[in-house]
Amino acid sequence: MTDGLRATAAVFAKPGDALSLEQKEMPRLQAGEALVEIEQCTICASDLHTIRGRRPVGGPTVLGHEAIGYLRAMSPELQKGQPELKISDRVTWSIIACCGNCDRCEAGVTQKCRELKKFGHETQINDQRPMGGFASHAIIPAGATIVPLPSELPTSVAAPANCATATVVAAFRTGKSCHDQTVLIVGAGMLGITATAYARHHGAKEVIVVDPQEERRSWAKEFGATQTASELSAVDQDVADLIVDMSGIPDAIEASVSRLNVGGILILVGSVFPARPVQISAEQLVRKLNRIEGVHNYRADDLREAVDFLATASTIFPFESLVEQKFSLDRVNDAIDAAESAVRVAVCPGLDREK
Ligand SMILES: [Zn+2]
Ligand SMILES: [Zn+2]
């Protein structure tokens, strides 16, 4: 299946080092695994945090998780578990692999599986099995979910499906239906912009987006924001039925709470880095019947919904324009530099093949 295949992978050794392109003999697939040929991998903020040393990940590893590609080989176990998959399908896949049998998997929180494997943004599970998207090919481990992509879905729209989009779907699933609700989104990066479009697409009455950067606020308007503000103090108290915080900034989270309507829900998504504890009024939560929940990663059904959402929403909102630049794999380090100041930059191994 993978016999004799040599892949090119951009290997991360340690923070501060440029990624180095290495040839890797692809190993024979093990039970449950798949081999994909990478079409495109967008660079996520967490990739940048790892490369710049702000996120502790040990090398050597192949980073890149917002990837899509073509299914080139499947183990019999995978084919049995996901009979809808066919060789040559264009696919996205979950950024985690779970066991499917532990108490957490059985409870539906597969992203917190007791045997959880993360790949493409963590220390390599096994040096001989390159699983990251900054490569010509990658192995998808057993226990990941692979989802076929509609052929009409543009490459640049589909690539972030398994990170930003699926996380946004999980956030709204945890919160509540947006229909006829006032939704407040705090932070308008890739996640916030996607959440804005999601809320609008699902019938929100108002979508208020707060971000200090003017450029991001104008993106938010293009993705369906009905009102934008540079800071939360400009937003009325008690207006929001649902708040999704993508910022993770304690000051913003504290200011959000008083914007909750009676019965309102605050979903925390952005708090994935160390920060000071937040101070909130328990009395206010009680009297206003508010709820605060954390959302981290997502389940398989969220990824499937993310693909369906992008297939329709990309015809309404300019998702394709969020990928501002594309680089071939041999220019992966230029791509990383460019990604520091863009919503999304893509690495496209297919561009190398076309040369
Ligand atoms: Zn990501
Ligand atoms: Zn499990």
By the 8 A CB rule, do 263 and 185 touch?
A: no
pLDDT tens sequence for the chain (355 residues)? 677 788 999 999 999 899 999 998 888 999 999 999 999 999 998 899 899 888 888 888 999 999 999 999 999 999 999 999 999 999 999 999 999 999 999 999 999 999 998 887 776 656 678 899 999 999 999 999 999 999 999 999 999 999 999 999 999 999 889 999 999 999 999 999 999 999 999 999 999 999 999 999 999 999 999 999 999 999 999 999 999 999 999 999 999 999 999 999 999 999 988 899 999 999 999 999 999 999 999 999 999 999 999 999 999 999 999 998 999 999 999 999 999 988 899 999 977 665 5
3-state secondary structure 126-138: CCCCCCCCCECEE
How many Å lie between the centroid of ligand 2 and the Cα of residue 30? 19
pLDDT at 126: 61
pLDDT at 45: 87
Tokens of 200: 């609008």
How many Å lie between the centroid of ligand 2 and the Cα of residue 76? 21
Residues of the chain with CATH 3.40.50.720: 174-294
Phi, psi for residue 103 in degrees, rounded to 5: -60, -35
By the 8 A CB rule, do 131 and 62 touch?
A: yes
pLDDT at 53: 87
Q: Which residues contact 171 (CB under 8 A, 6 or more apart)?
A: 195, 244, 267, 269, 295
Position of tokens 């460019």?
338
CATH class given for the domain over 174-294: alpha beta
Domain 6-154+314-354 of CATH type 3.90.180.10: yes
Neighbours of 119 (CB within 10 A): 28
**Cα pseudo-dihedral 223, 226, 227, 230, rounded to 10:** -10
What gap in Å lies between CA 137 and CA 153, rounded to an integer?
Answer: 21
ipTM of predicted complex: 0.96
Ligand nearest to the CA of 113: 2
pLDDT at 350: 78
Pairing of strands 61-62, 66-74: unpaired
Among 66, 54, 59, 65, CA closest to 18:
59
Ligand nearest to the CA of 297: 1
Number of helical H runs and strand E runs in the chain = 12, 18
How many Å lie between the centroid of ligand 2 and the Cα of residue 32? 15
Residues of the chain with CATH 3.90.180.10: 6-154+314-354
Which DSSP string do the residues of 32-90 spell out, in sequence order?
T-EEEEEEEEEPPHHHHHHHTTSS---SSEE---EEEEEEEEE-HHHHHH-TT--TT-E
What gap in Å lies between CA 80 and CA 192, rounded to an integer?
Answer: 37
Ligand nearest to the CA of 111: 2
How many Å lie between the centroid of ligand 2 and the Cα of residue 107? 9
